[in-house]
Homo-oligomer: A and B are copies of this chain.
Amino acid sequence: MNSAELVKCDCFDFEEVGRDDNARAGVVTTAHGEIETPIFMPVGTLGTVKAMRPDQLRDEVEAQIILGNTYHLYLRPGLEVVELHGGLHEMMNWDRPILTDSGGYQVFSLEELRTIKEDGVEFQDHISGARHFFTPEKVIAIQETLGSDIMMVFDECPPADASREYMRNSMERTTRWAVRCLEARTRDDCALFGILQGGTSREMRREHADALFELPFDGFAIGGLSVGESSEAMYETVGFTTPMMPDDKPRYLMGVGKPQDLVECIYRGIDMFDCVIPTRNARNGQCFTSEGPVKIRNAPYAKDMGPLDPRCDCYTCSNFTRAYLRHLYKSREMLAGQLCTLHNLRYFQTLVRDARKAILDGRFLDFRRDFYAQRGQLQDGPSP
């Protein structure tokens, strides 16, 4: 690879603006504007964050960046339709940054339906069963067609129980594919992040770090976590991995997580998160609040005249009671999913915003202690 010949994303930037122990606050600049980190990215798999209008996502959640799924959008509505709109932003009417995954995670999840080759992965999709072949080059081309502000490399996420030999082979291929992704870029307004694999093994993470972090990516993600390991194992892995990562690039923990996971991993130096939990759980009536989880369908809420979360400023908490939300949920009304999704996303956004303020004020440990105290948990959470 000749670095001088690579297409680079000149509009992308990361600046660390504050630090408190390992927790850090930053600003990421993309072609569609700035993101204040730490940040949580709502997931918009199919070109919509489920149950949310984009204006509500911008004005009420105050989401700064959302995630789109390459594999799903490639199948539906397909690239031709996205291209006719001029890109994913235009199609879904979202003018802030979008990060797209590479589809790797979805393709490798197909298990019986895919074959891994050195060149790429052959698979049958989950909708029509049609055959496709994803290569690093193709995955970059798709993400450039989507117009992603932050593209992800095509990587393999090996199973948590993979043998050391399998994992090493997979990591090495992921590195070769990462180089091919860098070489495949044609747009200078789409940033590209590398993905570090290695499971929960410090040695494997170190090995992959040595190969990956010298490549000229705009940022780096930790992949291969939140795939079934314990919270403690995840926190421990993040804790020994972030110190291996470059300080001058954003650090993105893929597929994580619950509110506690965000607090603990911000504590360990993570800048960016994404997860379907706030949106998916909302549609199942599981809400996140400053006082802990609320399963809104439960009988004790039938006559509860309080708001979902007394500390929340969202439309849901400002205007409706838990009793009404429970009624909507029990009656299978769409509004239940709409209002709970809005709240959960606002809760996540408020959490990372408050974490950022605390970092900038040098009181992140107080913030973390308050987080647990509000839930009636006296302990400080797991140690780093």
A283 to B80: give the CA distance in the assembly, Å.
26
**In the complex, what residues of B have CB within 8 A of residue A331's CB?**
46, 76-77
The interface-forming segment of A4-12, A84-92, A112-120, A211-219 is: A84-92
- B323, A85: Cβ atoms under 8 Å? yes
In the complex the two chains form, is A77's CB within 8 Å of B305's CB?
Answer: no
CB distance from A45 to the nearest CB of B (A): 9
Contact: B302 with A81, CB < 8 Å? yes
Which of B52, B92, B335 contacts A51, CB < 8 Å?
Answer: B335
Do B334 and A50 have beta carbons less than 8 Å apart?
A: yes
With A91-B321, A303-B81 given, is the CB distance from A50 to B333 under 8 Å?
Answer: yes
Give the number of residues in A that approach B within 8 Å (Cβ atoms).
39
Quote the shortest CB–CB distance from A66 to chain B (angstroms).
13
Distance A323 CA – B324 CA, assembled complex (angstroms): 35
| B-contact 0/1 string along A64-106, CB 8 Å cutoff | 0000000000001100110011000001110000000000000
State the majority secondary structure of interface residues on A: helix
A327 within 8 A of B: yes
A330 interfacial contact with B, CB 8 Å: yes
Known contacts being A55-B315, A327-B47, is A334 close to B335, with CB within 8 Å? no
> Is A328 part of the binding interface, using a Cβ–Cβ cutoff of 8 Å?
yes
Q: Is A53 an interface residue (CB 8 A)?
A: yes
Q: Which residues of B contact A76 (CB under 8 A)?
A: 327, 330-331
Contact with B along A301-329 (1 / 0, CB 8 A): 01101000000000100011101101110
In contact, B320 and A77 (Cβ under 8 angstroms): no
User: Which chain B residues border A226 with CB–CB below 8 Å?
Assistant: none
- For window 254-306 of chain A, which residues contact chain B by CB distance below 8 Å? 283, 302-303, 305
Taken together as a complex, chains A and B put the C-alpha atoms of A53 and B338 apart, in Å, by 8
- Determine the residue in chain B with the shortest Cβ distance to A77: B327
From known contacts A53-B338, A91-B324, A327-B77, infer whether A85 and B47 are also in contact, taking CB-CB under 8 Å. no
Contact with B along A29-68 (1 / 0, CB 8 A): 0000000000000000011101111110000000000000
**In the assembled complex, A136 has its CB within 8 A of some CB on chain B:** no
Is the C-beta of A337 less than 8 angstroms from some C-beta in chain B?
Answer: yes
Task: Write the nearest CB–CB distance from A321 to chain B, whole angstroms.
Answer: 7
Given contacts A52-B335, A84-B303, A335-B53, contact A46 B327 (CB under 8 A): yes
Given contacts A77-B323, A334-B338, 20 further A-B contacts (CB under 8 A): A46-B327, A46-B331, A47-B327, A47-B328, A48-B328, A50-B333, A53-B338, A53-B339, A54-B319, A76-B330, A77-B324, A77-B330, A80-B303, A81-B303, A84-B303, A85-B305, A85-B323, A91-B321, A283-B334, A334-B334
Chain A positions within 8 Å of B, measured between CB atoms, are 46-48, 50-55, 76-77, 80-81, 84-85, 91-93, 283, 302-303, 305, 315, 319-321, 323-324, 326-328, 330-331, 333-335, 337-339
| A-B pairs with beta carbons under 8 Å apart, 6 shown | A47-B324, A50-B334, A76-B331, A81-B302, A84-B323, A91-B324
